[in-house]
Amino acid sequence: MPATAQRLREIAAFALLAFGMISTLFNTITLLFGPDGCVATGIGAMTRTGSQGTTIPFAYRALGATGSLLNPVVIAAPVGAAALVHVQVRLRSSKGIALVSLLTVVLAGVFGLVALFASFGAENATGYMKTTSFCIGLTELGVTAVAAWLILGYFKQHGPARVAAPYGLQPPPGPWNQPQQQQQWQQPPGGGPAWGPGGGPGSGPAWGPSQPQWGPPQQQG
C-alpha cells in the first residue's frame, strides 16, 4: 500500500463507516415511524407521498425501505471500513471500527428482514411488485449475511491469544511425580543370571523383592 494511502486509511475508514451508519439509521427510522409521510425509495432519497403529518402504513414503508436497508452499497461501506484498518498493520482503532461495523450490518440485516416480509401486506401493490421486491431483497439479505461474516472474522482477531504450552514441558514437582526408588539388584535363586525388564541377561535390574529359597540350605564344600 502506498505511504499516502497508509496515512489516510483511518480517515477513509471513518468516512465509510459514517456513511453506512447514517444511511442505516435514517432508513430504519423511516421504516419504523415514517416521519412526515415520507417513504424511503433509495439511498437517502425521500419521496413525499402524503400531506403534512400523514403517516404511511407500515407495509408500504416496508416495501420501499427493503431496498434501502439492504442496499449493497450501504452494506459494503462498513465492510470496507473494517478491512482498511486491518490491512497490513492493524490500527489502534481497528477493534472499535470492527465492532461498530458489525453492529451496523446486523442492524440493517434485522430490519431489512422485517421489511422484506412486511412488504407482503401492502394491499395496493401488485403481485409483480411484491415478487420483485422479495426476490431482490432476498439476494441482498444474503449479501448482508456474507458481509457480517467477513466483519466478524476481523473482530475475532482481537480476542485473547491462546498460549500453547512448550513441547516437553514437565509438570511441577510433587508427590505424584517423584521418581521411584530402584530396588537393589537381586540374584535369583540357583545362581542364574539376573533378568531385567528388557527380557535378557543383564538388560536391567530385577524389579520387586527377591524370592525366598525353599528347601534345606545348601552345604558349602
Is residue 163 in some structural domain?
no
Residue 94 resides in a domain: yes
| Interacting residues of 215 by C-beta distance below 8 A, sequence separation 6+ | none
Flag whether 164 is in a domain: no
Res 89: pLDDT: 76
Predicted local confidence at residue 66, as pLDDT: 87
DSSP string, 158-200: TSPPPPPPPTTPPPPP-GGGPPPPPPPP-PPTTS-PPB-TTSS
Q: What is the pLDDT of residue 191?
A: 54
Q: Which pLDDT value is given to residue 62?
A: 87
- Please tell me the distance from the alpha carbon of residue 69 to that of residue 115, in angstroms, as a whole number: 9
Q: According to the model, what pLDDT value does residue 111 have?
A: 94
**What is the Cα gyration radius of the chain?**
38
| Assigned domain for 179 exists | no
69 is a domain residue: yes
The answer to whether residue 15 is domain-embedded is yes
Whether the predicted model's global pTM rises above the 0.75 cut: no
Check residue 37 and report its DSSP letter. Answer: G
| Whole-angstrom distance, CA of residue 143 vs CA of residue 198 | 66
* Sequence letter at residue 178: Q
Q: Is residue 170 part of a domain?
A: no
Question: Quick check: helix, strand or coil at residue 52?
Answer: coil
Residue 212 within any structural domain of the chain = no
Cα–Cα distance for residue pair 32/115, rounded to 1 Å: 10
Q: What is the pLDDT of residue 90?
A: 77
Q: Where do runs of H (alpha helix) occur along 38-193?
A: 58-69, 72-84, 94-118, 127-156
Rounded Cα–Cα distance for residues 151 and 131 (Å): 30
E strand or H helix at 6: helix 3-33
For every one of its 221 residues, what pLDDT tens digit does the chain have, with 9 covering 90 and above? 666 666 788 899 999 999 999 999 999 998 888 765 555 444 333 444 444 445 678 888 888 888 889 999 999 999 999 999 888 777 888 889 999 999 999 999 999 999 999 888 887 778 888 888 899 999 999 999 999 999 998 888 876 655 555 555 555 555 555 555 544 445 555 555 555 554 555 555 545 555 555 555 555 54
**Number of structural domains in the chain:** 1
Domain residue limits at 144: 3-156
Q: What is the pLDDT of residue 151?
A: 93
